[in-house]
Amino acid sequence: MISNAQLRSLATYKHHRTCELDNVFIAEGPKLAAEIFSAHIPIHTLCATPQWMALNENFLPEIPNIFEVTPDKLARISHLRNPNEVWLLVQRDFPVPDLPASHITLALDHIQDPGNLGTIIRTADWFGVRRILCSDDTVSHFNPKVVQSTMGSLFRVSLTYTDLPSALASAGCPVYGALLSGQDVRQLPVPAEPAILLIGNESRGISPDLIPLVSHQVLIPNLGNTAESLNAAVATSILLSHWLLR
């Protein structure tokens, strides 16, 4: 059983800085635990209820720090409103498997909402997009809300945080940018060769310094002519489905 001192120590990982210093991230729940075990990603610490332990005892010998906890103690270290059986500290340095990949790369400019980033990663995984370039000011993909909302897709998509203007300028392929001034996506040819799809910030769109690097401005037409804008994750899903489901 876990001591109160150990609980207090693990609770400090609620702070992003502590996770960053120890090169770990938090994952919670049986679904993510199963994904992590399946991907053979090193686990630093695991806390779980006796019921979960009994069902997953085959995985436990490989984990250095294991604690059996009651639901109320799990709540003290969890980010979730309703903690779910198992809590893990996972090593950040994990390989992404070599899977069949789309010719589209996503580029994300200053995406700030963790739920949006998590949904974009999950959508990318669904469509076989294996590479995402993120501006340095995009929310961390190790944010607990991002990790949870990816539902395991985080472990199958490679994310690189970079100076986005330099990365786009040196990419050597067309850059499609989602812009209200763009051409109707239904009238644009589907990219047949490697291409980048650039998605901008939730409220401000694509940064002005990136617009000159966009070779094809793309618009999702507002058929209802009432809503002001589309959610960034929804726009990503529409554009990927339009290009990759043909």
Please state the domain count of the chain: 2
- The pLDDT assigned to 59 comes to 80
Per the CB < 8 A criterion, the answer to whether 186 and 218 are in contact is no
Q: Is the pLDDT of residue 191 over 90?
A: no
Domain span at residue 125 reads: 104-244
Query: Residue 38, Cβ neighbours under 10 Å: how many?
Result: 11
pLDDT at residue 246 greater than cutoff 90: no
Task: Specify whether the CB–CB gap between 216 and 174 falls below 8 A.
Answer: yes
Residues 130 and 66 placed together within one structural domain of the fold? no
Give me the residues paired with residue 122 across strands: none
pLDDT of residue 131: 97
Q: Is residue 97 part of a domain?
A: no
**Is the pLDDT confidence value at 208 over 90?**
yes
Answer whether residue 96 is part of any domain.
Answer: no
Distance CA 243, CA 196 (A): 12
- The whole-model pTM stands at 0.94
Instruction: List Cα–Cα distances, 197 to 4, 92, 122, 151, 213, in angstroms.
Output: 48, 26, 16, 23, 12
pLDDT digits (tens, 9 = 90+) for 33-82: 999 999 999 999 999 999 999 999 888 878 999 999 999 999 999 999 88
Q: Is the pLDDT of residue 30 over 90?
A: yes
Type of residue found at 171: A
Clarify whether residues 111 and 192 are in a common domain: yes
Q: What gap in Å lies between CA 138 and CA 232, rounded to an integer?
A: 13
Look at residues 91, 123, 151 and tell me which one is the last residue of a structural domain. 91
What does the pLDDT look like over 124-179, one tens digit per residue?
A: 999 999 999 999 999 999 999 999 999 999 999 999 999 999 999 999 999 999 99
Specify whether the CB–CB gap between 73 and 67 falls below 8 A: no
Mean pLDDT of 181-202: 92
Between CA 216 and CA 100 the distance in angstroms is 26
Give the pLDDT confidence of 85-136 residue by residue, as tens digits.
999 999 999 999 999 999 999 999 999 999 999 999 999 999 999 999 999 9
Query: Which position has the token pair 């940018």?
Result: 177
pLDDT reported for residue 134:
98
Q: What is the CATH number of the domain that holds 72?
A: 3.30.1330.30
Residue 25 lies in a domain: yes
Exposure string over 160-195, b if 16+ CB within 10 A, otherwise e? eeeebeebbeebeeebbbbbeebeebeebeebeeeb
Strands 43-48, 158-162: parallel, antiparallel or unpaired by DSSP?
A: unpaired
Same domain, 9 and 127: no
